Amino acid sequence: MDQNTLIKTAQQILDTTTKLSKSLTDSDIAIPNDLNVGTTSGLWTTHNAEIEALRSKITGLSQNLGMLLEGPHGFLHEYVSVNWEHGALYTLLDHNVLEQIPLNGSKIPIAELATRTGLPADKLLRICRLVATVGIIREETEGEFSHTAISETLVKDQGYKSFIGFQTFETRVASAHLADSLRKPNPYWNEGQAAFELAWGMPMYDWHREHPEKGKRFAQAMQSVSKNLDAGNDMIIQWVKGSKGLQNGKSLHIVEIQGKTGAFSAELATLYPNAEFEVQDTSAELISRGKQTLDSELASRVKFSQRDLFAIRKCDEVGDYTDNTVVFLLRGVLWSHGDEEVIALLRSFLPAMEHQGIKPIVLISDLVSPIWSTFESHVERAFRRRDVTLTTMHNVKQRTSTEWSQLLQSADPNFKIQYQERHTSHSCRGLWEVQLEI
């Protein structure tokens, strides 16, 4: 008889874990034995193809085994019940409860924790106890709580704490209204209404402006995600490093479109002293803030200007840069616009791209929906979650690489396009280098 699936799956988990352990040892990477405060491991941060593949396989097999053990009712009950855990975790984040737990690993009684936070002890006990059951915090002695490496991260990395807070508040409420947003015809982009708007009464960015404390948290969250979970910025950095302009000893002149406060241009300017930057944005407030926060040492190479997004870029605008490679950088700008707006924006660069001596480049970094069945189902889940996130929060469609390519060619059939794509655990990014062939 064939070996039963439970034993077979368990054996695969053991065999693959053994391979992973050997790979970690061979790579001199510490194997995590617990999640105590201060615990770190390269297993969590190393982007080694073999290690990631083994880790991913173990995760998928473990989830499959769990589903076999639970069955339909057990699985579904657990799947939907995490809503209460998310609410409990958000309460701890919003009231800064985790910051009141000692970071040295010692315990704090619930009565003292309640006094420090101003929350009722009886309710706080139930909230902490639920969060502790999944290992975010620890209750080894009844009524006394301590940190784990997970909650320690939420205290020490405020940007990531902001991301978790955004996910457990704004997105949780918006997702509850997704079904209602589809009860009537609701086309993508500006013609329809996002579930977030249905839930909160206005589009997300407007709501964040009306609630600046949440807007600040969202900005911190996105900065953390871009740094830790999104490959987009790193792809641009590597492109600049390998660009023909720098390789040939020339200077780069990079115009960042909708660059907000210019934080990314400032980062590039620090990395590449032979590059100069112009940060353009429609918001005078963001431009002013960028000028105020820019390091004085970069002021000569990072300039700011307020400009309409769809304004035509004329040929004479790049005429002064004959010794430079001119790059128009669109970093996460296009995803929120419908096809007609994207085409109009791309065509606004054509007059400048027709400059015979300079031949500017349009460099586009944006979100991509991977083609179906690119990954194992447990990995695919993260990318399909992103598809639904954009629909829920903004009523936009995350395009596939094929859809992006067709859109670019629709803007001008003479576009010469080079494309690369990179995946992280939670994001897929595309990078398009676009030149005009005449």
DSSP class of residue 423 equals: E
151 falls within a domain: no
**Residue 210, domain extent:** 157-223
User: Which pLDDT band, with edges at 50, 70 and 90, does 1 fall under?
Assistant: very low
User: Are 164 and 238 in a shared domain?
Assistant: no
Specify the CATH number for the domain of residue 400. 3.40.50.150
User: Are 304 and 243 in a shared domain?
Assistant: yes
307 falls within a domain: yes
DSSP class of residue 201 equals: S
By CB atoms closer than 10 A (0-12, 13-18, 19+), residue 317 is middle
- Residue 238 pLDDT greater than 70, yes or no: yes
User: Are 287 and 424 in a shared domain?
Assistant: yes
- Residue 226 pLDDT greater than 80, yes or no: no
354 falls within a domain: yes
Backbone angles phi, psi at 421, to 5 degrees: -140, 145
User: Are 163 and 258 in a shared domain?
Assistant: no
127 falls within a domain: yes
User: Are 254 and 401 in a shared domain?
Assistant: yes
User: Are 338 and 429 in a shared domain?
Assistant: yes
What percent of the chain is predicted at pLDDT more than 70? 97
Q: Quick one: pLDDT at residue 247?
A: 60
25 falls within a domain: yes
329 falls within a domain: yes
User: Are 284 and 342 in a shared domain?
Assistant: yes
d(CA 151, CA 161): 9
- pTM exceeding the 0.95 threshold for the entire prediction: no
- Single-letter code of the amino acid located at 373: S
Q: How many CA atoms lie within 13 A of 87 on its CB side?
A: 7
Structural domains counted in the chain: 3
User: Are 261 and 114 in a shared domain?
Assistant: no
Q: Quick one: pLDDT at residue 169?
A: 97
User: Are 292 and 429 in a shared domain?
Assistant: yes
96 or 321, which is more confident? 96
User: Are 334 and 202 in a shared domain?
Assistant: no
169 falls within a domain: yes
